[in-house]
Structure 1
Amino acid sequence: MAAASAVLRSEWTKIRTVSSTVWTLASALFVTVAMGAGLCALTNATFDDMREVEKATFDPTLVSFYGMILGQLAMVVFGVLVVGTEYSSGMIRTSLAAVPQRATFLFSKIAVAGALALVVGLATSFLAFFLGQSLLGPHRTSLGADNVLRAVIGGGLYMGLIAIFSMGVAAMLRSSMLSLGILVPFFFLVSQILSAVPKAKEVARYFPDQAGSTIMRVVPDAMNSEEAPYGPWGGLGIMVLWVAVALLGGYLVLKRRDA
């Protein structure tokens, strides 16, 4: 029986020695911070041109996180690669031969990769916030303002959970290409389109990305958007449920099917 500590060290070695996973996490940080900074600078320059209703519901914290639209793509890729590469390379057979306890193998991998994604997510969230606020000029807010710290920490949790959810999906589908082929269109096309359709948006707001992103809002109806039927922590809770279901599904597939 493989010791849990040895499995954790093994999974850490796999992640840090594969350049694609390292660069993917670096891309998540850079893209999120850079895009958020650019949009904050643009918002500051065009603030007077905004409609009055948008000014009244302006959420400077949320504007800092606009870069997560692209940054979460990198987190999806990271989560898929961590699990899917085992199957595409054929290493899954070697890994399971070394660690026959499949629950130990899978959840050690997810624990290590998930912790790393959460650390990078939090670093990204704080950097995006501080740089974004510095570029918003007189429209900025501070970390000590009501609910701002919750939103900034929540932004990091959101990015980490996106990665962990992607790991669960990749474990179920056992293919990097298939997982990316489903997750990328889902998050960047299906979810966004349905959230704008009157009837469908009542369902879309319970999707993991739509629900989880409410944790980053300080103003409930930010930028004249509709207020969600749940609070920030309720939305994050819905996202956690999606993550739990994906991880359970991944474990059941790994347990019942041959490598």
Structure 2
Amino acid sequence: MSLVAQALCITAQNLIKGQTWAGNDVLLQPVYPLEAVMREGRDAAPVIAVFAEHTKFDVEGRATQGREARVELKFFVYNAPGTQRIIIDGAEAIEISLDTETAGLTLNAVARQIDAALHFGPDLWLECWNKMVLSIDDREIRYVLIEIEDGVKIPAAEIGYTLKAIPDPDFGGALTVAWQKFDAALKATAEGALVARLFETLITDPMGLPDWQLVKRNFGLTSGAIGTIGLGPYQGVTLPDGEVPPFNDHTVTPDALEP
């Protein structure tokens, strides 16, 4: 998964937490959500799993970060068996049985709540979403039955958004506005500081490469080219710590321009 896809998953998770009938049961992976659905003592309520199914980058030259990304973001909504009591606008509570004929109502209501949260969720995370998502090109809902045990099946819905998003950040670059907002939103949560530090390191200091190598890799330059323009060492010249020799110390030959 790419950094922008992972950041979008985290952003979407925090946007919809507490904004749907699933409450805070919004998982950041699709692998074992049924453990949350079926856990002992849990009230009957939906569980949501958020994940990026597919990410594709519009690449130019050797810059694999791309000019933009296309991310297939998925929300899987699982209905827990049982009866849920729901209060609507302070009115008398109504009961919805999540595994019978009213399950479709629940799934569609939660889908609507998710969509609303992506427009009106918590401000910090909404700013991240609006900076990272350039456009929403498609929205699709599929309904499925998930077998849980002994042939028992529960209703579920797969809600997919096709997003045109910002590209992955350059290696060794400073945090752009979008990533600054993501960093601030993470650090505002109790458990987000370490994740924020991980993202910052992956963006600003990948592999501890010297600056000239970061420029070379970000722009897809050859070893000869980076030396010729004076940003890196010339071929055949080795200096400690990536130090670049003065330009007038060397004569550039055609052989030095080879990759």
Normalised to the residue count of structure 2, the TM-score between the two structures is: 0.26
Normalised to the residue count of structure 1, the TM-score between the two structures is: 0.26
Structure exhibiting the larger radius of gyration computed from Cα positions: 2
> Which one scores higher on RCO, CA 8 angstroms, separation ≥ 6?
1
